A and B are shown apart, each in its own frame.
Chain A
């Protein structure tokens, strides 16, 4: 059974005074298997952030449904959704969303503290993760004392500490320089290889080339998919670039 099922999802936003309707997602339908690393690509306004919000249980679809492990999230109440998010999903954001009045350690432990775990248990969960991410020495520092790449790794540690079913990443390299980006993507790759399902929204070709599968979204629909199979990463990158070019040209033509 698929881990994540996005079932003909449609999302329509109404402007505040009930005037115009904006269709952010027309009909999105796909599944993600356990252990997959999926990248979702699309230009600004293509609906990819809306899709991520719906998958993250931050928003509900107008039509269709999203289920994780066979559980339909749109049927849950608000607080049940929050709890579900806390227990089963991990998040990485473009702007890190670390609390600047907590040390990195406290930021990482935050989800566990919210879940009411014992301090010793929390430490036992945190140590291997921060070692793997190479930030074990930094955890006593505060967000404003470390670099962007280190902040993002702390955010990754925070998302992994609850041992989530799916890791959702929203433009994780968006605020990083190329070196930190590469480091982070390699780490995500490794995490994926150890069995973690990852779903990443990005508009960076390079970032997407680290995934097993890349989905292109355009005008609220899944437009195209590329599977990596046994391709090398450089070949994958070429294919992605080609697809992006086609995607853009298509847009051009439709305008004429």
Chain B
């Protein structure tokens, strides 16, 4: 068997099957490129050098990137194996024909080996080449994000390069083994007639239907009923699993049940528009339901990743501003005026430090629990409920004097009155703290609370209560049980100031020293430091999130493309017959269009509904990491859905024209 002939066969097979082979190459290039890029960053000497991290938080970023690259490797393997399976299914006939024409199996296997080697070479070669150029761009983007000065020179990470080559060699070898086995185990004649048997109409799988519906409803209920971040921590995984199970049930069983129902309804079924569609959809659902469900789940993953990344970016600044309402913030439990004065003297004594906007707030924070069945009534925690976080509400009492320092509109209230605002948008007309009842005179401004809010308590519902004066606030705190030696009636004070010009490291150290010299309740935070900390932690997440989102998107597009192709081939025969019986070209197009639209947009619509339902629990879950402002978060979700839908429509346009070409092609075999 000479090699020349084998190469000619490979070439002609590539040309003939380019509709399936080109995407296979593209997928290889794309996945290897992304893996290589993420791995390069993870092991880059420009992030973690020989002497440890190059900038604050670099270790974190490297770790997250490493985990991310592992996830990408797994997904890449799945996508490539799937695409390979599809291209192979299409080629059974061709290879069967070679067998019948007398090409020995050994030569066919040789051909497959050469072919795999070539596919591997082109795909990974392309991926590495493009990746090498984009790597530098990625590094510079990351540097910009963390505020690091750019470096010059091409970035090349040998470990990542070798690892990419090895990993993808492994994936393509598995593909080759699969192909060889599928050829080796079958006879030529079987290969030739692989897809030509009639098949039964699908039956409704009642068990999956019931499981699917129950799982979906249960998942939705769990997601919607979740009230706090603490609950969300446990519930979110249950909800995700239930909804995934439900989605598969929905697509495999519910879809067929609905179609069957339409079919039983004679007047509905025997309508020109429904007739052809219902029967075709039923069979397509039988074959493709799990594929559609996968598309739906993948779409959810893409949308979620994008919206989480977007809201993290959008919320980052907001969070830092909340944590550090001024450039320098100190917090301490109320002291005598002397200590405070000592601190300010120290600050004012620092060389070159010019302060402005000096502010101070006093607040009495405590956790309480809502009285069951009595809206607006809260009771002090007792020995038991002190440790049951799930019921906690975080209350902040502050005086109208403090409030007026930050509010846009000053208020004036009397002893029995209060201004109230809640982080959950709950409204009260009367509020009871223990046995003291306040008439709510109006809603306080949430924006005025940055100075008094305790960021470690954002997991809980926060309720801010502005009372007339200090005596009332101290009185309210009498009922709070505390650890020994802590006086709850002493307020937490927050002072802060802005700095004219840049705050230097030396000045920061001097402020730290000043604070350390006071009592041990004093803590200082610098906005500059917080920002660095935040970015170093979430910069990595953001990078990996974007890459993972892109990989998921590629997987989605690929599945859709191959699905359209295979269905096109199936439908070609059917529409050819209908044309002979008298379906006009226009009717054929209309019918195909409707079908493709339903199949295409069903996963998208279901995904959008899932995300809509899930957004509540996801917001609560994300609150564990950062404070999530609802409006920004929901905007991020809506935006992500819109962007994803746009990309999806674009893919639809492209693949459906391919599909039309296949279905509507003139009979090539007589």
Chain A residues close to B by CB (< 8 Å): 58, 78-79, 82-83, 85-87, 91, 93, 97-102, 106, 109-111, 113-116, 119, 122, 142-144, 158
Q: Is the CB of B280 within 8 A of A122?
A: no
Q: A99-B574, A106-B279, A116-B272 are in contact. Are A111 and B201 (CB under 8 A)?
A: no
| Chain A to chain B contacts (Cβ below 8 Å), 14 pairs | A86-B582, A93-B580, A98-B577, A99-B279, A100-B199, A101-B283, A106-B279, A113-B272, A116-B272, A119-B270, A122-B270, A143-B198, A144-B198, A144-B199
Scoring B residues 581 to 621 as 1 if CB is less than 8 Å from chain A, else 0, what string do you get?
A: 11111110000000000000000000000000000000000
Residues of chain A lying within 8 A (CB to CB) of residue B283: 101
- Distance A197 CA – B491 CA, assembled complex (angstroms): 104
Whether a CB of chain A sits under 8 angstroms from the CB of B408 is no
Q: Is the CB of B583 within 8 A of A91?
A: no
Residues of chain B lying within 8 A (CB to CB) of residue A98: 577
Scoring B residues 294 to 310 as 1 if CB is less than 8 Å from chain A, else 0, what string do you get?
A: 00000000000000000
The smallest C-beta distance from B392 to any residue of chain A, in angstroms, reads 59
Residues of chain B lying within 8 A (CB to CB) of residue A114: 272, 275, 581-583, 587
Cβ-defined partner of B585 (8 Å) among A78, A110, A113, A143: A78
Known: A99-B574, A114-B272. 13 other contacts (CB 8 A): A82-B579, A83-B582, A87-B582, A99-B279, A101-B282, A110-B275, A113-B270, A113-B272, A116-B272, A119-B270, A144-B197, A144-B198, A158-B581
Among residues 113 to 168 in chain B, which have CB atoms less than 8 Å away from a CB atom of chain A?
none
Residues of chain A lying within 8 A (CB to CB) of residue B579: 82
Residues of chain B lying within 8 A (CB to CB) of residue A116: 271-272
- Distance A57 CA – B520 CA, assembled complex (angstroms): 97
Among residues 241 to 282 in chain B, which have CB atoms less than 8 Å away from a CB atom of chain A?
266-267, 270-272, 275, 279-280, 282
Cβ-defined partner of A79 (8 Å) among B198, B266, B270, B584: B584
Q: Is the CB of B266 within 8 A of A91?
A: no
Prevailing SS type, chain B contact patch: helix
The smallest C-beta distance from B284 to any residue of chain A, in angstroms, reads 10
Cβ-defined partner of B577 (8 Å) among A79, A86, A99: A99
Q: Is the CB of A113 within 8 A of B271?
A: yes
- Distance A97 CA – B198 CA, assembled complex (angstroms): 13
Q: Is the CB of B578 within 8 A of A110?
A: yes
Residues of chain B lying within 8 A (CB to CB) of residue A58: 580
- Distance A82 CA – B578 CA, assembled complex (angstroms): 11
Please, which residue of chain A has its CB at the minimum distance from the CB of B670?
A49
Q: Is the CB of A119 within 8 A of B267?
A: yes
A83, A85, A115, most chain B CB atoms within 10 A:
A85
Whether a CB of chain A sits under 8 angstroms from the CB of B8 is no
Residues of chain B lying within 8 A (CB to CB) of residue A82: 579, 582-585
B577, B582, B587, most chain A CB atoms within 10 A:
B582
Q: Is the CB of B585 within 8 A of A101?
A: no
Whether a CB of chain A sits under 8 angstroms from the CB of B106 is no
Cβ-defined partner of A85 (8 Å) among B198, B270, B279, B582: B582
Q: Is the CB of A99 within 8 A of B578?
A: yes
Please, which residue of chain B has its CB at the minimum distance from the CB of A96?
B577
The smallest C-beta distance from A73 to any residue of chain B, in angstroms, reads 14
Please, which residue of chain A has its CB at the minimum distance from the CB of B202?
A101
Q: A79-B586, A101-B283, A144-B199 are in contact. Are A111 and B581 (CB under 8 A)?
A: yes
Please, which residue of chain A has its CB at the minimum distance from the CB of B586?
A79
The smallest C-beta distance from B171 to any residue of chain A, in angstroms, reads 37
Whether a CB of chain A sits under 8 angstroms from the CB of B200 is yes
Residues of chain A lying within 8 A (CB to CB) of residue B201: 101, 142
Q: A106-B279, A113-B270 are in contact. Are A83 and B584 (CB under 8 A)?
A: yes
Q: Is the CB of A101 within 8 A of B280?
A: yes
Scoring B residues 195 to 231 as 1 if CB is less than 8 Å from chain A, else 0, what string do you get?
A: 0011111000000000000000000000000000000
Residues of chain B lying within 8 A (CB to CB) of residue A87: 582
The smallest C-beta distance from A164 to any residue of chain B, in angstroms, reads 10
The smallest C-beta distance from A234 to any residue of chain B, in angstroms, reads 35
- Distance A110 CA – B584 CA, assembled complex (angstroms): 13
Q: Is the CB of A91 within 8 A of B200?
A: no
- Distance A102 CA – B280 CA, assembled complex (angstroms): 9
Residues of chain B lying within 8 A (CB to CB) of residue A113: 270-272, 275
Q: A101-B280, A144-B198 are in contact. Are A111 and B584 (CB under 8 A)?
A: no
The smallest C-beta distance from B583 to any residue of chain A, in angstroms, reads 6
- Distance A110 CA – B280 CA, assembled complex (angstroms): 14
Q: Is the CB of B577 within 8 A of A97?
A: yes
Residues of chain A lying within 8 A (CB to CB) of residue B282: 101
Among residues 488 to 547 in chain B, which have CB atoms less than 8 Å away from a CB atom of chain A?
none
- Distance A102 CA – B267 CA, assembled complex (angstroms): 17
Residues of chain B lying within 8 A (CB to CB) of residue A78: 585
Q: Is the CB of B279 within 8 A of A102?
A: yes
The smallest C-beta distance from B288 to any residue of chain A, in angstroms, reads 14
- Distance A175 CA – B390 CA, assembled complex (angstroms): 75
- Distance A217 CA – B647 CA, assembled complex (angstroms): 58
- Distance A135 CA – B279 CA, assembled complex (angstroms): 22
- Distance A114 CA – B580 CA, assembled complex (angstroms): 12
Residues of chain A lying within 8 A (CB to CB) of residue B584: 79, 82-83, 86
- Distance A82 CA – B270 CA, assembled complex (angstroms): 21
